[in-house]
Amino acid sequence: MFELIGSFFNITLYKPLFNLLVLLYNYLPGRDFGIAIIFLTLIIKILLYPISVKAIKSQAALQKLQPKIQEAQNKNKNDKEKQAKEILDIYRQEKVNPFSGLLLGIIQIPILIALYQVFWNGLKASELSNLYGFVANPGQINAIFLGMLDLSKPSIYLAILAGISQYFQTKMLLPKKTGVVKAKGSDFADMMQKQMTYFLPFFTVIILLGLPSALGLYWTASGLFSIIQQYFLLKDKKNGQ
């Protein structure tokens, strides 16, 4: 069973990502492994664009509903069951799924695992046997980025940059302050969101400190692309209100 899952994962994610990365490495000017990773990140973001747009728009809609939700919380602060029912009714009436953003995260988990394997094992000469027939074998892959950073080894600088991009990416999607007085104990979810704003970047830095900095470069580039995407989508959403 596990062998079947591993084989499926290898065929559907690892090999395609590895071959695409080598293809980019072969044909981009300068044969810079880091530049190839940035372009690979951009391609992944483009492929996930429809799902990410839906997730960002859903989060923007949740921000817009915050006054109504806080009003329902205040009105039913002593009746949690009624409070939850009214909030669900608000979501239903406005046709907003509060969990739609989870799909994007779920999809990205196996991609991150595959990329980890690509960056961890892909630089080995033996892995080049996994290349498709139409992808030229480069003989070996030079992991130096911009002539100075070895992407096969951990880098505190890229780990910190990845954490910073994670912070701003998360903070952009936090609900804006509405001026509505919240009921005591009704802002637990808001408190958790704010804690995650700081915890996720910190956790990202800690994890990346022990991994090849190629993954940190991917994380940073992905975060920057997401920030740009969120900026324009949220701006359009705001102008359309």
Q: Over 57-115, what HEC string results?
A: HHHHHHHHHHHHHHHHHHHCCCCHHHHHHHHHHHHHHHCCCCCCHHHHHHHHHHHHHHH
Inter-residue contact 48 to 108 (CB < 8 Å): yes
> Mean pLDDT throughout 152-172?
91
Instruction: Indicate if the pLDDT at residue 192 is higher than 70.
Output: no
Amino acid at 73: Q
Given a cut of 50, whether residue 237 has pLDDT beyond it is: yes
User: pLDDT grade, residue 158 (50/70/90)?
Assistant: very high
Q: What is the mean pLDDT of residues 60-72?
A: 74
Q: Could you tell me the pLDDT band of residue 225, with boundaries at 50, 70 and 90?
A: very high
Q: How much is the pTM?
A: 0.82
The pLDDT-based confidence of 184 (bands split at 50, 70, 90) is very low
Reply yes or no on whether the pLDDT at 125 is more than 70. Answer: yes
Has residue 159 got a pLDDT over 90?
yes
Of 103-112, 124-133, 189-198, 210-219, which has the strongest mean pLDDT? 210-219
Residue-wise pLDDT tens digits, 1-59 = 767 777 888 888 999 999 999 999 999 988 899 999 999 999 999 998 888 888 787 77
Q: What proportion of the chain, given as a percentage, has pLDDT over 70?
A: 84
Side-chain-side CA neighbours of residue 173 (13 Å): 24
C-alpha closest to that of 49 among 222, 238, 212:
222
pLDDT over 90 percentage in the chain: 31
Task: Decide: residue 95, CB within 10 A, 0-12 exposed, 13-18 middle, 19+ buried.
Answer: exposed
Q: Identify the weakest region by mean pLDDT among 93-107, 159-173, 217-231.
A: 93-107
Residue ranges per structural domain of the chain: 2-239
Mean pLDDT is highest, among 72-76, 185-189, 191-195, 225-229, for 225-229
The pLDDT of residue 95 is 73
Residue 157, pLDDT score: 93
Name 144's bridge partners: 150
